[in-house]
Structure 1
Amino acid sequence: MIAEYYIIINELAGSGHGKVVWETVKPILEQRQIRFEYRISEYAGHTIRLANEYVKTIQRRPNVTPVILVIGGDGTLNEALNGIMQVPQAEPIPLAYIPGGSGNDFARGLGMATDPAIALAQVLNNMRPRSLNVGYFHETLKNEHRYFVNNVGLGFDAQIVDDTNRSKKKGRLGRWAYLSNMLAAYSQQEGFPLTVHVNRKRDYYKRAFLCTVSNIPYFGGGVEILPQANLHDDQLELIVVEEPHWWIILWLFVLLLLGGRHLKSRFVHHYRNANLHLLVNSVEIGQMDGQIIGNRNYDLYLSTHPYPFWIDTSIHDHH
């Protein structure tokens, strides 16, 4: 089976790192005489349109597997996935990825190489589609259906994302940019009413501070917030932290950096289930895969959805 690659590049990802990665990848593709075509994503939301157009226009041929390859950050991969999922497919086109952003949490969660040449080898030397469970949510107040590769967050982590995306430090500092914006986010974020429905259980938090649903262990460029989260199962993980004093937040992050011990704290509430329902009856900031999804009320139903990826993480060199 021969693979053909339909590539989308976000050259601005990671403050220009996406362009550097593409300049590494393109000569290798040409040298190996790989069949490919490419498009450059030029503005927010453009990758959604490009991926959508690829799915609609790719002509299937015998013994040839078309693969949509994304080069950029987690937000670029998110846009590509959502563009693909807008088009019904009897036989879904596999999705491949080479990390070129600042956080690269999806690659970290999957166990991908971050070196562009090795990551490319993990794509080119792959022999079959491999199903991963991506996140999915239905927000009923706006009747919005979206897919995510990493996580969805309301409150504190979304405020950090917003501050970090506005910061010039993001591309240079990676996860330290997120951590350095924690104090500013703490001063901006107030507690909010949150209802969590899991199966027949209903929990109400009068002053929730952080609410993050994740499909991978990491957020913020390598912060291991939910160590058990796994792309290979159908479970989502949810962490809720109620509004704390500043010293509690500091203590929780010390525990977090020590390897997941924060989940044992009495200030932290941890859920794991295939289906989650979150209800927020106040206007709060939200993020999905490092991109802000607005300031609003939320009625979110979350689950996972299998999708074929074209990545073999067992490959550890570029030959």
Structure 2
Amino acid sequence: MSAARRALASAAPRALLLANPHGGRGHGPRVAESARRRLEAAGWSVELVLTRYAGHGAELAAALPPGELDALCVVGGDGSLREVLDGLLAGRRASTQGVCLVPSGTGNALAAELELAGPGDAIERLLASSQRLIDVLRVETGAGVSHHACDLLGLGLAADAARWAEHLRWLGRPRYAVGSALAALVEPSRNMRVVFDDGADVFEGPVDLLIGSNTRHTGAGMLVAPEARLDDGLMDVLLVRGMSRARRCLLLPRLGRGELGGVPELLTRRVRSLEVELREELLVNLDGDLLPAGRLRAEVLPRALRLLA
């Protein structure tokens, strides 16, 4: 390559495409290749990397030198983005790296919140220099381990439903609704002590469902937090007290449609932080990923992510 062409290439905007080859029924590589062609046609210098194992995206994001990229494009669903956030925000309260979500997963709550029409729309917004700062949830699950989420954290039936859905991947998107129904029918309530905003309010007792949400919808499309905003510095909390399985089957579909009024078992809060003390180790649902937790603390990192969308 001549010196002139090298200089031109170095001046081109730079993007790294991180693609989950297993997300969205294996469509990630095809979506990523299409995104690469569009960016290169617009004059960008693009590198495409397929993640090889769980946690690989976090490792790659953590190793990025500051200022090297104009865009870090995550090709996948909410879980793929969550993994990259763990790398970008390790030991930090905010990241200056611009991130573009190119949705190709089965759970795309953040893409729905951003009203992205699909992968192509995400790339066109990147090329149009559209961007915004959004909040991120930092969640400590014990032993000094921190994780991050853009959408929500969920305990009780929110995690049980995701666990059931993992066994039903062959169903595609309907697996979330089926998993939720199965969890409501068979899973027990759990005893928890939930502390809001460092002791400003406390709940203690049996809990069926606990969600702390940054987005209005879940990855399954349920409208669990109609008033949630991506950049208000707060998480919207829904806590459903323990109830009979018959009562669950009546009420949970209503909650999934955002019909929160007139439900005596429901407690809602808008908080900056919460802590959950558990009688036993449970799974917590973070943007669709299931992680073990014996004690949980979550806080909002205001406007911590620069989203190119």
Scaled by the length of structure 2, the TM-score of the pair is 0.88
Q: Per-residue displacement from partner, 1:143-202 (whole Å, max 9, x unpaired)?
A: 2222111111111110111121232335x2x2x211111232234421112222224444
Using the TM superposition, name which of 185-194 and 83-92 deviates more: 83-92
Looking at structure 2, the residues matched to 212 and 104 of structure 1 have their Cα atoms a distance apart, in angstroms, of 17
Query: Per-residue deviation at 1:263?
Result: 4.7
Looking at structure 2, the residues matched to 159 and 59 of structure 1 have their Cα atoms a distance apart, in angstroms, of 40
Query: Per-residue deviation at 1:20?
Result: 3.2
Query: Per-residue deviation at 1:7?
Result: 1.5
Counterpart amino acid of residue 283 in structure 2: I
Looking at structure 2, the residues matched to 149 and 254 of structure 1 have their Cα atoms a distance apart, in angstroms, of 24
Aligned length: 298
Q: Which residue of 2 aligns with 1:182?
A: 180
Q: Which stretches in structure 1 are left out of the alignment for 5+ residues? A: 313-319
Q: Which residue of 2 aligns with 1:316?
A: none
Q: Which residue of 2 aligns with 1:307?
A: 304
8 Å contact kept, 1:39–1:50: no
Looking at structure 2, the residues matched to 206 and 292 of structure 1 have their Cα atoms a distance apart, in angstroms, of 23
Query: Per-residue deviation at 1:26?
Result: 2.3
Over the residues paired in the alignment, what is the CA RMSD in angstroms?
2.4
Change (3 A) 1:32 1:198: same
Looking at structure 1, the residues matched to 258 and 16 of structure 2 have their Cα atoms a distance apart, in angstroms, of 38
Looking at structure 2, the residues matched to 152 and 91 of structure 1 have their Cα atoms a distance apart, in angstroms, of 21
Say whether 1:109 aligns with 2:110: no
Say whether 1:34 aligns with 2:44: yes
Q: Which residue of 2 aligns with 1:9?
A: 19
Looking at structure 2, the residues matched to 89 and 270 of structure 1 have their Cα atoms a distance apart, in angstroms, of 26
- Structural mapping, 1:176-215, within 5 Å: 176-199=174-197, 200-215=199-214
Looking at structure 2, the residues matched to 244 and 6 of structure 1 have their Cα atoms a distance apart, in angstroms, of 48
8 Å contact kept, 1:18–1:73: no
- Structural mapping, 1:185-264, within 5 Å: 185-199=183-197, 200-257=199-256, 259-264=257-262
Counterpart amino acid of residue 247 in structure 1: A
8 Å contact kept, 2:137–2:298: no
Structure 2 counterpart SS, 1:181: helix
Query: Per-residue deviation at 1:88?
Result: 5.5
Looking at structure 2, the residues matched to 134 and 89 of structure 1 have their Cα atoms a distance apart, in angstroms, of 9
Scaled by the length of structure 1, the TM-score of the pair is 0.85
8 Å contact kept, 2:95–2:304: no
Using the TM superposition, name which of 302-311 and 264-273 deviates more: 302-311
Looking at structure 2, the residues matched to 145 and 284 of structure 1 have their Cα atoms a distance apart, in angstroms, of 16
Counterpart amino acid of residue 123 in structure 1: L
- Structural mapping, 1:1-319, within 5 Å: 3-53=13-63, 55-56=64-65, 60=68, 66-86=70-90, 92-113=96-117, 115-126=118-129, 129-139=131-141, 141-169=142-170, 172=172, 174=173, 176-199=174-197, 200-257=199-256, 259-294=257-292, 296-312=293-309
Q: Which stretches in structure 2 are left out of the alignment for 5+ residues? A: 1-10
Change (3 A) 1:30 1:265: same
Looking at structure 1, the residues matched to 206 and 215 of structure 2 have their Cα atoms a distance apart, in angstroms, of 26
Using the TM superposition, name which of 83-92 and 42-51 deviates more: 83-92
Structure 1 counterpart SS, 2:228: coil
